[in-house]
Every structure is written in C-alpha cells, then in structure tokens.
Chains A and B, each alone.
Chain A
Amino acid sequence: MNLTLKIWRQKNANDKGKLVDYKINDVSPDMSFLEMLDVLNEQLINKGDDPVAFDHDCREGICGMCSLYINGEAHGPDRGITTCQLHMRMFKDGDTIFIEPFRATAFPVIKDLVVDRTAFDRIQHAGGFISVNTSGNTIDANAIPINKHDADTAFEAATCIGCGACVASCKNSSAMLFVGAKVSQFALLPQGKVEATERVLNMVKQMDEEGFGNCTNTGACEVECPKGISLENIARMNREYLSASLKG
C-alpha cells in the first residue's frame, strides 16, 4: 500500500506544532500501525531528519503506553484494541491518514505525538489503592469470600490500562471513565470498602484539579476504550461520590 500520512510534528512543549505530510510506499497490510511508523522513522533517520516521537512499550495491548488519534479516533478505526494492535489492513491503498496526539489540556504535548499522561498517575496516587498491613498479619485475599458477580465486575473495571483514550475521545476531555474504573475496582470488593469514602472524594478532587472536563454522557469513551470499560463504572462512581459527600 502507498499512503500519505499527515503527522503532528511539535519540537517541544512550547513549540506551536503543525501537521506535516509524509509519503510512505510499499506498506504491508500485515504490519501493525506502529511498525509502519517504525519504517517511516527509519526512512527519516536515513535522510538525516528527526524521527517522529511516539509512545510505545509492550506492543501487546497490555501496558497502555501507546496512544495516537488516528483518522479522528483514539487508537484508530478498529474497536477493542490499542494502537499497537491496529493493523494496516484497516486502511486502503492511497489513503490519507491523520495521526495526531491525544488532545487535552491535562495531557500536554511533550514532543510530536508523545503526551504527558502523568495526570492519571496523580489521580491514582490520590486514592487508587488499598492500604495493606504488611506487618506479617496480612490476610490472604483468597480467604475472603466475594460474590462472583462482584468479583467479575471488579475485575472488568481493573482491566483499564490507563491509556487515556477515554479522555482523547471525549468531546469534553473528561477522565470520568478512567476514574470510574479505578474507583469501581475497589468499591466492589471488601478490601476496598474500608477507604471507599476518602478514595472517591480524593480521586475526583484530583481529577478536577488536573483540568479534565465534565462528563456529559456522550458514551464516546466507552466505544473507544480498548478494554471495553463500561459507562456503568461512571454511574457507580457518581453513586459512590454522592454517598461519600453526604457522609463527609
């Protein structure tokens, strides 16, 4: 396949940035999207140009490191996958492909397609954990009976890889699907109930301080999420938050 790529190039956080056109030929439909970018970068390096910076790590759809807004959608046009799992067979010979960074004020561009997603880390630090006594008296988690439905729902919420596609897809740049998943995975389990009140209040407070937008329930996040995190998690977080606010 021969393709035209319109890639966002930005030297650093202070640079204005712009879309730059690149032609790439003989792309195999079996390549992953990131492999196609690797080939482009080899060509750029051979010409003495600056390669395109983009995030990636495991390339197995697990780590949540890859991002990219491809042809107007987070992780591209396929469903239930990350960018590293997107294959070039999703495109046609002669296509023009727009490749942009995830856009949100809370995700500032570092360089080209790489954005700073540490806002998610700070939200996690605010309450996305359980405090476990490690003094030698720790109770084996498997010794605590948990309803199967609750265990499954908590596990589904825990599959969130924190890639930020929800924020990138949301017209308001809201992070509520991410925070909803992180709140839910603990709210459903007995281990998480001890700190439930502070957890949801602190995580939502941090989310608001980071400058994410307000959720208007468009559902775009759920559709674009590579792990299929459900909007039910946002509803659960809303309930948890209102309940915690009344207690607090």
Chain B
Amino acid sequence: MSGILNSSIGRKFAMALSAFFLMFFLLQHFAINVTSVFSADTFNETSHFMGTNPLIQYVLQPILLFGVIFHFVMGFVLEIKNKKARQISYAKNNGAANSSWMSRNMIWSGLAILAFMGLHFYDFWFPEINTKFIEGDMSGLLADGSGYRYYEELQHKFVDIWRVALYCIAFVFLALHLLHGFNSAFQSVGANNKYTKGLKGFGKAYAILIPLGFVIIALYHHFNHIS
C-alpha cells in the first residue's frame, strides 16, 4: 500500500476519488439552490441548517475544502508531469482525429472553474465565514431581524448582469469539464464494463443538466429581481 500516491495509477485513482466527491457535492449544492426558485422559505431554512449544523460546518466543510484544493493541486501537478513527458512538441498534431476537445483541455476548463470559484467565494463564502465566525452572528437573520438573510443575499448578488454573465460562462466550462471528467473518473477506478455505455449516457446528462440548472437559477433570480 505504501507509496501508492507516488505512482501514476495511484495519482489517477486519487484524482478520481476527489472528482466523485466533488460531483456529489455539486449535486447536493444544486438540490439546495433549486429550492430558491420554488420557495424562499425552504431555501432559507435549508441554508440555515447547512450553515449552522456542526457536522456540516466542522467536519464536512473542511473535507470539501481539502477535496477542492487536492483536485486542483493534483490537476496542476499532473499537467506539469505530463508536459515533461513530451518536451518537444509535434510540428503538426491532429488531436481532434482521436479525442474530444474536452478531454484535451481539462486544464483550461479547470482553470476557468478555479477563477469562477474565486468569484464565488468572494460573493458568498468569505462573507458567510466573516458573518458567522468573525462577527460571531450565527443567527442567520437579516439586520432588522425580520427573517432569514440567505434568500435576500442570493437575490442581491444576481442583480448585476455582468456577474450573472460570468456565472453562466463559468457553468459552460463546468459542463465541458464534466463531459469528460464524469466518465473519466469511472475509467480511472477501473470501472469499464457492460454498464459503461449506459454510464456514459448518464454522465453526459449530468454534465449538461446540472450546469444548465445552475444557469437557469442565476437567470431566474436576475430577471425575477428586476421585474
């Protein structure tokens, strides 16, 4: 078992495990966000639960942060190692003849997602951490105490059309990343069997529908707020 992470297959396996975790998190994040379209109260209550539950805040959140950082760092480490494995490039290379654009450009779609996460953390995560753990306000209430603040904050963020546009562009890159990443993760853990064809179809649906859902939620709040 020792040294497994120093091997190419071990790194591939670890990358896939972190991808599974992040894809599950994405699904859960979507499930909560989608409630904001149907019921402000449900979104507020769910957000308050997620934001104050000790198990989620002190156990799952650090694991999530580790998963995110690990996936990005390992992605860059692998990219650097792979560049070293071919120091002289081809004068003519027809990559499109044998592989998808998504599979050849995971580092670029990943970088776009990383940039988006900087914006997303600036918008939501840092203010949340500041309110709860620096200012010490765990109530989740608006300043006037008239109700929970989460739905209000969400709507406020999506007033700016440029922010909404950046979110939509980021979700396109997320979809491109997932179009290769979903099935790649299964191949990496050795799952290539009679179910692979069906799994590929499910992976494509996941890769398109989840980011599309996030786009619809962002647009809904933008237009709902200004109408």
A77 x B97 contact (CB < 8 A): yes
Residues of chain B within 8 A of A98, CB atoms compared: 91-92
Residues of chain A within 8 A of B183, CB atoms compared: 217
Identify which of residues 187-223 in chain B touch chain A, using a CB-to-CB cut-off of 8 Å.
187-193
A174 x B189 contact (CB < 8 A): no
B7 x A72 contact (CB < 8 A): no
Total contacts A-B at CB 8 Å: 140
How far is A224 from B99 in the complex, measured between Cα atoms in Å? Answer: 10
Measured CB to CB, the closest approach of chain B to A73, in angstroms, equals 5
How far is A163 from B191 in the complex, measured between Cα atoms in Å? Answer: 27
Binds B, one of A50-58, A59-67, A102-110, A128-136: A102-110
A213 x B81 contact (CB < 8 A): yes
B192 x A231 contact (CB < 8 A): yes
Residues of chain A within 8 A of B84, CB atoms compared: 105, 211, 213
Question: For the side of the interface on A, what is the size category?
Answer: 35 or more
B188 x A171 contact (CB < 8 A): no
1/0 per residue A235-246: CB within 8 Å of B?
111110110011
Residues of chain A within 8 A of B98, CB atoms compared: 73, 169, 218-220, 223-224
Residues of chain B within 8 A of A216, CB atoms compared: 78, 82, 103, 106, 184
Given the known inter-chain contacts A214-B81, A242-B9, please indicate yes or no for A73 contacting B94, CB distance below 8 A. yes
Given the known inter-chain contacts A71-B92, A238-B13, A242-B13, please indicate yes or no for A105 contacting B86, CB distance below 8 A. yes
Whether, in the assembled complex, A234 has its beta carbon less than 8 Å from a beta carbon of chain B, the answer is yes
Binds B, one of A31-39, A40-48, A201-209: A201-209
Q: Nearest CB to that of B84 among chain A residues?
A: A105
The 5 closest A-B pairs by CB, nearest first: A72-B94, A213-B85, A235-B192, A239-B190, A172-B82
